[in-house]
A and B are shown apart, each in its own frame.
Chain A
Amino acid sequence: AQTVTQSQPEMSVQEAETVTLSCTYDTSESDYYLFWYKQPPSRQMILVIRQEAYKQQNATENRFSVNFQKAAKSFSLKISDSQLGDAAMYFCAYRVSGTYKYIFGTGTRLKVLA
């Protein structure tokens, strides 16, 4: 079965520091997409960053970057220079190419301390 695991239910980071959220997934497929979504208290789900499995280069979006280790089936999110507005639930998600279903992890709640 395809699963996505986020082993950290909650993380804290000091403002301006760096934090890494972990995500592992289980699949026998070779072509797929990975995503990180952010859900602030407003409950709106916002796409943070995406990665195509066939690309070896790690995706980067401003202060957000990923460490994609395909062999280890690991897809961690690094947030640099953390800001108060980064406080949210973060969900890792995965979709096999050619299918429609996205599978989400259980989420990590990130607290940013002033």
Chain B
Amino acid sequence: DTAVSQTPKYLVTQMGNDKSIKCEQNLGHDTMYWYKQDSKKFLKIMFSYNNKELIINETVPNRFSPKSPDKAHLNLHINSLELGDSAVYFCASSYPGQGDYGYTFGSGTRLTVV
């Protein structure tokens, strides 16, 4: 069973389109995250939810909107896609309570905007 699953793995779309990436975890973690990895491999946090509550909202264009229907799911919707949105987007989950054992990452979604 995949612990953190993201769909789709690859997404090619045209500028101006709207797209969504879905993430689900079956680890019972209470915190989920979206990270963006750019072409230089730099990982930057975008959002985090803890038990469906938004707790981290970094400086991200408001074309990006996360949604967490329950603590096992965190989706990312992107409106009016731009060329600069091309990147790999990672979902991750964790239980940052006592004895933090780090993130469990999904396999990433490579988004290409053409």
Q: Which residues of A contact B (CB under 8 A)?
A: 33, 35, 37, 39, 42-47, 50, 52, 89, 91, 93, 95, 97, 99-102, 104, 106-107
Nearest A residue to B58 by beta-carbon distance? A101
Contact flag A47-B41 (CB < 8 Å), given A100-B96, A101-B48:
no
| Residues of A with C-beta under 8 A to B102 | 33, 35, 37, 47, 50, 93, 102
Chain B residues near A99: list those with CB within 8 A. Answer: 96
Partner of A45, one of B40, B96, B100, B103: B103
Kindly list 15 other residue pairs between chains A and B, CB separation below 8 angstroms, not including A44-B105, A47-B103, A102-B45: A43-B88, A44-B108, A45-B90, A45-B103, A50-B101, A50-B102, A91-B43, A100-B55, A100-B56, A100-B96, A102-B102, A102-B103, A106-B41, A106-B42, A107-B41
Assembled-state Cα–Cα distance A10/B49 (Å)? 34
Count A-B contacts at CB 8 Å. Answer: 59
> In the assembled complex, which residues on chain A have CB atoms less than 8 Å from the CB atom of B101?
47, 50
Q: Which residues of A contact B55 (CB under 8 A)?
A: 100
- The contact string, 1 if C-beta is below 8 Å from chain A, for chain B 18-52, is 00000000000001010000001111010010100
Q: How many residues of B contact A (CB 8 A)?
A: 26
Q: State whether A89 touches B103 (Cβ < 8 A).
A: no
Bound complex: CA of A99 vs CA of B31, how far in Å? Answer: 11
Query: Quick one: closest A residue to B44, CB to CB?
Result: A104
What are 26 inter-chain pairs, A to B, with CB distance below 8 A? A33-B100, A33-B102, A35-B102, A37-B103, A39-B41, A42-B107, A43-B88, A43-B107, A43-B110, A44-B105, A45-B92, A45-B103, A45-B105, A47-B102, A47-B103, A52-B99, A52-B100, A91-B43, A99-B96, A100-B31, A100-B55, A102-B33, A102-B45, A102-B102, A104-B43, A106-B42
